[in-house]
Structure 1
Amino acid sequence: MGVNRKLAAAMDACQIKQVELARRINTEIGALTGREGHVTDRDIRRWLDGKTQWPQAKQRVCVEKVLGRSAIDLGFVPRSKSAAQAPPEDPMYRRTLFAAATGTAVALTTGAARPRLGQSDVNRFRAEYAEIVADDQALGGAQQVENHAVELAMRIKSSLAAGGASAWVRTKLYCLASDVTCSAAFAAIDAQARTRARIGLDNKQGPGR
């Protein structure tokens, strides 16, 4: 771990200070995910000091866009070989991610009474999403994180298709499904699987879509 001179040089070349870089990254995160980011100048200092060597995927994507260079060229160091090497794209897996992203998951039950979804279902899915976020922060770029996120997004969509719910609960679940799909996409970015990532980010679902 040491000072990230490549990042410092890129910031100097673009004449961007730490506070301004954080602001621009947050704006790009907002454009990418629909929610403005929370990067601060303290985070930028940690990058420059080398304390954070491999930022979160959405942060890396956006700093790449702001500074016009790849994460590697900006001096960031992948936490594992899988994060730096592109695995083969699986057409079947791309279709699965597309289904989760576009909300085409179908109900797994037919001919049965439609279960009523409530706050307990929102809490259950949200707790599982928290596990995915924790795994992503700990592992970064792991296929299991992406797989878990895709599978959870599909189950949320399937539950919405199979069960009745109030407008409030449906809105909460659609927003959660969108967040989970974004997590799958960012895990794909970590793994350099850009096609899968683009599917997820281009088609993330929310209420009313």
Structure 2
Amino acid sequence: MTENVALRARMAERGLTQDELAAQMNAALLEITGRLGDVSARTVRNLVSGATKRPIGRTRVALELVFGCPISDLGFASPAATAPPEESVLRRSFCTATTGVIIGAVSNVSGRRSVGTSDVLRLREGMATLTALDQTRGGHAALERAALAGAAEAVTLQENAASQTVRQRLLSVAAHYTATAAWSCIDARQLDRARLHLSEALRMAGMAQDSTAQLRIWNSTAMLAHQRHEYSEAIAASQAAQASTAARRNPLLSSLAHARTAIGHASRGDRQPALRSLGYAETALAKADSTTPSPAWFSFYGPAELSALTAIVRELLGEPAHAEAASHQALASLPVRLRRNRSMTTVRLAAAQLRQGEVEQACATTGAAFELMVGDPLPGRLRTMLGDFHRTLFTVAPSAQAAREWADQHRTQWSAS
């Protein structure tokens, strides 16, 4: 049995562990079939070790979608001329699913008399799959629909819960699914829908008595308010996150809440409160126990993300040199799998360079953002950032050759995404 060196190399390029590749393959299957995949770390282990030499059906389609290449480029034997029936169905689904429609995260089991912990665990697994899809593609309509479908099932199941504990856990799951739908709308710049989802998510989190879900929702509320230029509300929401039981118990969660508060203060030009909140965020992060497990939705946060948020604060305070340094620090350690986060940090780096008069360097930097998201439409937030960069570029250097070349090279890709 010979190890599949090609597949292992592709995984290393993207910084994927076996568990993470399994999650992304399940996300791909969810997107093209409307049903959650059942790929496990063992499945991936067999693929990497060479125990599976000719993946077929769902496994093959998921691998090709995740890596964007034929199965033969991943070190596997060429497929037979006639594909198995299931594979043909999957391929037809993929070819026609131009918007990535997701029918639902899990199947309905309304006929059951009693709903227990196994249902909670199953729904949580679906939530992890949607998180992987978000980290790969960013917010989009199909992700929103899948999250709302998961929330709807959790709400339906809680009516037949075996105990009050199970009922609260299902309501917690529903709150997190709805928060995911809200986040997808925020990332896609569908702000009115995001506000409606956040209101519903907060209601369910209250019934579930889930302080972690409440912190998550307040964090998203602060982001939404910032996008709507409602900076006082953004500060109030982030301070509500700071005051949550979850933040008081977990320094890592507290750090994010303080960083979000710093952005709110910086948006209003309040330098000292902004830097003070950043200091609180750094102190809390230093106290965090790296061995304490975090929710899947929170896996993006750590020193690298705090550096990225610091870059936002410094940019808002009119300190482009500090913003550039913080962006470089973030990109040095942001995981490869967080394509959207890395792309946005790259554009922020370019904006900081541009504000320091480094026109050619800034234009070259933005090219990496497009490369990171190749194969998928640009999320709304990223597209907005690129639009801001474009306007600033032609304000700072309207006649520069680099500016004209940037527009010629990227305008179509940016505006069409």
Q: Give TM-score, length-normalised by structure 1.
A: 0.44
Q: Which has the higher contact order (CA 8 A, sep 6+)?
A: 1
Largest Rg, 1 or 2 = 2
Q: Give TM-score, length-normalised by structure 2.
A: 0.23
Q: Which has the higher helix share?
A: 2
